[in-house]
Amino acid sequence: MDIGFIGLGSMGQAMAENILKAGHRVRVWNRSRERAQPLAALGAELVDTPAAAFAGDAVFSMLADDAAACEVFDARLLENAPRDLVHVNMATVSVACAEKLAREHAARAIHYVAAPVMGRPDVAAAAKLTIIAAGPAEAIDRVQPIFDAIGQRTWRLGALPQHANVAKLAANFMLASAVETLGEASALLSGYGVAMSDFLDVITNSAFPGPVYSGYGRLIAQDTYEPAMFKARLGLKDVRLALAAADACAIPLPVASVVRDSLLDAVAHGDGEKDFAVLGRVAARRAGR
């Protein structure tokens, strides 16, 4: 397939590389051109504008947030895009942003698919992402070979793109809540001289197996938050988006409010660029430890 790819952060770069490895033609654009250079060595075509990437059979995007998406996918870009193109937005954006983009694409006969992913950059590099997709079924069918090149499974949540985004926000809220409780548990253990590493061995081999508790728990136990695989400031963004989505339909999320405040604490203390697991340091600081 002829694929455009917009946004080459750690996640986007890994995904674009796997699309190339699967034998597809890929045109890439990123604000910082140097981020695209390693992909050029693998056969990607570097283009100078988003419009040059917004063509072919489909375009995939992985931009940082709502503001970046609105700036890049403006009316001019969409007006000049090929009709019947499929745009797959893989970023974690707000429900409101997803609804707006879906309307604007449909008005110009461009298929819009929301397909946020679950997994950190190492998972993306291994092509093991979990993909949550929603949008026109025919459009998802057309890009399924690309999903197969970057992920281990695609979960389809219907025809409304925003359903994929609210599912991703719910998942990230659950992740944030788990990391918060890991941090608080670590603080409790430290008060009694129990090693967090010993505790982790118990819980991850019994009631709480899986990568969330074992991975983030290990970082908290080791007090190791750099290099960041998922930055605390991005976690704060996602929890805020979950709270905004909840507010829009009068759904209380009291735990999310607590986690937001903990992440704000991390950012206020200069830890926004550190890994999400830095919530362990926040809990320790609150406990005077």
DSSP string for residues in 82-139: PTT-EEEE-S---HHHHHHHHHHHHTTT-EEEE--EES-HHHHHTT-EEEEEBS-HHH
Q: How many CA atoms lie within 13 A of 121 on its CB side?
A: 13
Range list of β-strands (E), the chain: 2-6, 25-29, 45-46, 58-61, 86-89, 111-114, 117-118, 129-133, 151-156
Single-letter residue type at 81: A
Which residues have C-beta within 8 Å of that of residue 67, sequence separation ≥ 6? none
CA-based nearest residue to 113, from 89, 131, 147, 77? 89
Q: Can 21 be counted among the known catalytic residues?
A: no
CA-based nearest residue to 92, from 123, 112, 69? 69
Which letter does DSSP use for residue 41 in this model?
A: T
Query: Which one from 100, 128, 168, 274 is the annotated catalytic residue?
Result: 168
**CA separation (Å) from 251 to 98, 257, 264?**
19, 12, 22
Edge-to-edge strand list for the sheet holding 86-89: 45-46, 25-29, 2-6, 58-61, 86-89, 111-114
CA-based nearest residue to 159, from 134, 132, 133, 131? 134
- Where is 199: in which H helix or E strand? helix 196-203
Q: Which two tokens stand for residue 65?
A: 């947030």
Residues with catalytic function: 168
